[in-house]
Every structure is written in structure tokens, then in C-alpha cells.
Chains A and B, each alone.
Chain A
Amino acid sequence: MTEGYLIVNCTMKNLTQVELLIKSIRWFDKHRPISIITHEDNLKKYLLYIDEEIYLKPNKILTATYFHSLLASPYTKTIAFNPDQILTNFNIDVWENLRGMNSIVMPKTKSNFNGDLLDYSLYTHGSIEQKSFGEGSIIDAIFFNKDKGCDYVFGMAALISYYYNQNQFIDFFADKENNVMPPFPKYLWPEWVMSLMYKILELKITKFDFINLIDLSVRENNYTNNKWSSMTWPEFLSYWVNEQGDIKIENYVQLGLVKYNTSAWLTDSTLINLRKKFI
């Protein structure tokens, strides 16, 4: 019965981001192992604190690859992360809560750099999920427990993603479309699939804020502040990393899992201070 962290979609391109995420996880949790899912051979030699490197041949269907990556976790209980993130605050005691929960736990909310809660409707994908399922899904950090059958959920999600074809799905469900089936998009993305899974397998999936997720990615539908819809955050927000390694945006300290989305802010000076803290 093992517990550990998994970082998916690791490549040479995002090696710096993966390195920062690994080191920041290690800063908060000294004991649980960390594994990475790579799509290129032998990234491990560049990285410290890696327990296992799992090579997964990339599939042309990226959404299916994501679920295959989760299925490949070497741990019974896993928290999986996407790589474009850094952990600046995490209470490892939350593992205790997660053990008693469902087979899959997703965060319920995400917030802006200033603590304001973000709505799914601010994002193109999120708004589609919201229209189709009433609410979207957040999978920037996701907990899953193999002892409780998460493999079945991810297996089903991988199959749907792999064999998905908009026209076939619409045809197949045509006679059932009495306001209960979602409109099917042209292609699927992992959050959409997880929203579908949540809708049909609610008993297997829980939404619970086991981590404070700060999302800085572009919000295509933000009509009140169009900077968010047209630029990446380092272009219009003031940010810095002080010598203690604290990340500040508009003088708000960032505490949680910071999804920064773009590596534009990872300049030499910020990296020096971040590495100083996490090594």
C-alpha cells in the first residue's frame, strides 16, 4: 500500500518546470516518492529526487495519453500533477483525509492570484463543461486510489477519449437526446471527460479542495478585464520572487499549487531564488 506523487507529461521542453515542481513537492513532503511519466527517454538523469521514471509512448490522442499516464502510476494512492505548476504551500496531513475518500478526488475550486474564486465560465473549455454538465472539472491536481477502483474510471475515460468521434457519438445517442445527454464537442479534453465521468459515476468521484489551487492561465471569456483574455499574466501583472523564494504577484503572496501556465516568468533571477529555496 504505497502513496506517492506523479507528474505527467514530462518532456525535455518542460524539464525546468518539472524540476521546480519536483523540488517544491519534496520541500513539503520529505518521504513520499515522486515519479514522472515521460514521453522521451531518460529524463531521470537530469532530475533529483525521482523515484521512478515511467516511459509512455505518446499517443496521437493526447486526452487518452493523459488517462493512460494516470493508470501507469506505480502507487496505490497517488496525487498527480500537470508539470506547469509549482507548489508553494501544501499540508501533507491531507493524505489522511484522502485515504478515507472516494476512488478519485478532484479539487472543487480554484482561485485567482488575489484569492478571488474563479468561475468555469471564464474559460472556453470550462464554459462548455459548465453548459454540458452544470459544472466543470479541475484536474491540475488529482488524487486517485487503486484500492477503490479508480482504474475502472480512468480505463473508461481512456477508451472514450481514444475512440471518440463526434459524429458517431451524436448518431449513437441521437434517440436518447432528451435533455440529459451533453452536446458533444469536436474533440475531447481531459476535464470534459472527467466532467462526464463525474456526472455518470458520481459515487466514485469526490470534489474536495485538498490543495489550494491558484490558476493564472489565460481566461478567454473574461470580458470584464480583457487583459486576462488576450495576454499571459506576466505581461500585465507585477511579480517577483524574493530571496526567501516567496512568489509575489501584485504583492499578493502565492500559497498553494500555482498553475502558471507560461514559463515566461521563469527568468534567471526568479529561478535563482526559487532554486535557493527548494534545494
Chain B
Amino acid sequence: MSKFDSGILLIAYNNGKIDYEKLALIAARCVKLYMTNNHVTLLTDQPTFEALKKELPTSLAAETFDHVIIDNVTHERNTRTHRDSPWNEFTTQFNNKNKHSIFNKSPYEKTLMIDVDYLIGNDTLDAIFDTDSEVAMYKQAISVRNYQPRIWEQKLHPDGIDMWWSTAVYWRSDSELAKLFFGVWEHVKENYNYYKWLYKFPGVLFRTDYAVSIAVHILNGHRQGNLIHELPGKVMLFSEQIDDIADFKKINDMLLICPDPKELWKNIASRIKNENVHVMNKMAILRHYPKIKEMIYD
């Protein structure tokens, strides 16, 4: 099959607790509404696809996804603790260990893969398709409270390497560098415990952010370098898992309730309008799903 020129790749694998098909549907519509390079492919498995079919009447499917790839992978065990506001915590299987394989699965010459909880609210990321970048991601991030990320989301270790976010990854399929990048990513995944020891980062969860950060460091020759580019906008906006969404006026105009991470009972309201935002509290999005669905197909 010949490849499409450029487009957006979304990945959704349901895990029994979070409805990724709904998140994928919202993310795809956000792309359609606000980006020009809005050819959308969904990479999913059969059960998630079946759930999606229930959500999406055929008449709306064409307005949402242009292409669907069914990839029934067996997921390795990877348990993640999520927070839904400061007061609720739950664990789920986190299906991210085959994320590196998107290099071979993408149907595009130029792909921008975004996580389904990264809600597109403007066309900033369109600019990446007009560049010579071979691989690009975000390295810097700022919270909707205007806070820096926690130290372990800035660096893998206080004296260690910079953390890159795998929330949005752009690459060109004809690029040798991109091929190498995804190959090293896979290598890091397969030797994750060794790299955890080497780079001194904590936790048992496999984090793709850490895997790509190590891959970037290795590809730069174990130094700081600019082989891997930063995505347009340079700073990724994110809302933390403890944040909740109070309301959506439009899909790219939301009001968030953001507790102070040190004094969780103290909140500020933050209105995010016309921005791309990584909403880490997926349950907060899903609570507004019926309203969002009306808005995005209006």
C-alpha cells in the first residue's frame, strides 16, 4: 500500500477501566476541527474497535477517522496508578509497551502521533509538516497552573538527562534517523531495568517518556544535542492528574479546577482556550463525554 503524505496517528487500546475509544473519538475530532493536516488514522485492536462502532454511527465515522488499523497485539503487563482529582485513585493496565512499533505501522510519509488525551485546540502543530525535522517531540512543558513539571518530569534524575515527552511524536518515514530512533526506543524498552539502573530513575512503571529520553540521549552521542527537534510551540501545556475539568464551553475552551499540589484543598480555576493541552486526568474528560460529543459533531 502506498503511503498517505501526512497525517495524525492516534493509538487506542481499551483496558477495562478507561474508555480509550471515546478519548480517541474526541482527539480525532479536535484534529479535524483545528488542524489543516487532519488526515486521521486510528491504531487499535478489535475489542476497542467494536466499542468504537457502538459510539460512532457510520454517518459520523467519516468525519472522524480516515483510516483504521486493527492491530491485535498482546500487551505486556504494566500497571499504572492513575489519579482522578486529588481524592480518587485507581490502577489500570497501561498499554504502552508497543508504542515504538508505530514507526512501521503508520500509513503516512510524515506522521504526527499524539496521545488521545492530548486535545488539539489550535493549528500550531501543522507547522511541523513544513519543516525538515526528521524526529520531533516536546522537551519542555508547563502546567495549566503555570507550574514547571515535577523534577522527575524535567529530568530522569536530578543530575541526569532531560526528559522528553512522548505525548506527541513527529517523524518522517523515509528518515534513517527516525528508523534509528524507534529502534533505540525498542532497545531501551527491552533493557528497561538496565537503563533504570544506569540513569537512576525510580518506579516500576514502563514510561515511554523515559524510553524516548534515553533514546534521544544515546542518539546525541551521550551528550546534549539537537538531533531530535522540539515541536512547534516548544512548550507543551498539560493539566495534571489531580486537576479536574469543571466545564467545556467549546472543546478548545475548558475551565479546569487545579488544586495546589502541596495543599490539595486549595484550588484555582484555569481557563484554557485555543490551546493544545495534554489532559492527564482522562476520567475528567470522560465525565463530560456526552456534552463533548454534542459539541464536536455540532
Could you list which residues of chain A lie within 8 angstroms of chain B, going by C-beta atoms? 114-116, 225, 227, 236-238, 248, 250-253, 255
Asked if residues A248 and B222 are in contact (CB atoms below 8 Å), the reply is yes
A-B contact pairs, 15 of them (CB 8 A): A114-B159, A114-B224, A115-B224, A225-B159, A227-B159, A237-B159, A238-B200, A250-B157, A250-B160, A251-B222, A252-B161, A252-B222, A253-B221, A253-B223, A255-B223
Cα-based distance from A236 to B160 in the complex (angstroms):
12
Residue of B with least CB distance to A225: B158
Asked if residues A236 and B223 are in contact (CB atoms below 8 Å), the reply is no
**Chain B residues closer than 8 Å to A238, beta-carbon distance:** 200
Asked if residues A251 and B223 are in contact (CB atoms below 8 Å), the reply is no
Is B62 interfacial (CB 8 A cutoff)? no
Given A225-B159, A237-B159, A238-B200, 18 additional A-B pairs, CB 8 A: A114-B159, A114-B224, A115-B223, A116-B224, A225-B158, A236-B159, A250-B159, A250-B160, A250-B161, A250-B199, A251-B161, A251-B199, A251-B217, A251-B222, A252-B222, A252-B223, A253-B222, A253-B223
Main SS of chain B's interface residues?
loop
Is B198 interfacial (CB 8 A cutoff)? yes
Residue of B with least CB distance to A237: B159
Cα-based distance from A222 to B236 in the complex (angstroms):
29
Residue of B with least CB distance to A115: B224
Decide: A114 near B158, CB < 8 A? Known: A248-B222, A253-B222.
Answer: no
**Chain A residues closer than 8 Å to B158, beta-carbon distance:** 225
Could you list which residues of chain B lie within 8 angstroms of chain A, going by C-beta atoms? 157-161, 198-200, 217, 221-224
Residue of B with least CB distance to A246: B222
**Chain B residues closer than 8 Å to A116, beta-carbon distance:** 224
**Chain B residues closer than 8 Å to A115, beta-carbon distance:** 223-224
How near does chain A come to B140, taking the closest CB pair, in angstroms? Answer: 14
Cα-based distance from A116 to B223 in the complex (angstroms):
10
How near does chain B come to A78, taking the closest CB pair, in angstroms? Answer: 29
Cα-based distance from A225 to B151 in the complex (angstroms):
12
Cα-based distance from A238 to B160 in the complex (angstroms):
10
Cα-based distance from A114 to B154 in the complex (angstroms):
14
**Chain B residues closer than 8 Å to A227, beta-carbon distance:** 159
**Chain A residues closer than 8 Å to B198, beta-carbon distance:** 251
Minimum-distance CB pairs A-B, first 9: A115-B224, A253-B222, A250-B159, A250-B160, A252-B222, A251-B198, A253-B223, A251-B222, A237-B159
Residue of A with least CB distance to B160: A250
**Chain A residues closer than 8 Å to B161, beta-carbon distance:** 114, 250-252
**Chain B residues closer than 8 Å to A237, beta-carbon distance:** 159
**Chain A residues closer than 8 Å to B159, beta-carbon distance:** 114, 225, 227, 236-237, 250
**Chain A residues closer than 8 Å to B224, beta-carbon distance:** 114-116
Cα-based distance from A227 to B158 in the complex (angstroms):
11
**Chain B residues closer than 8 Å to A253, beta-carbon distance:** 221-223
**Chain A residues closer than 8 Å to B160, beta-carbon distance:** 250
**Chain A residues closer than 8 Å to B223, beta-carbon distance:** 115, 252-253, 255
How near does chain A come to B191, taking the closest CB pair, in angstroms? Answer: 13
How near does chain B come to A89, taking the closest CB pair, in angstroms? Answer: 10
**Chain B residues closer than 8 Å to A114, beta-carbon distance:** 159, 161, 224
Q: Which of A116, A227, A237, A251 has the most CB of B within 10 A?
A: A251
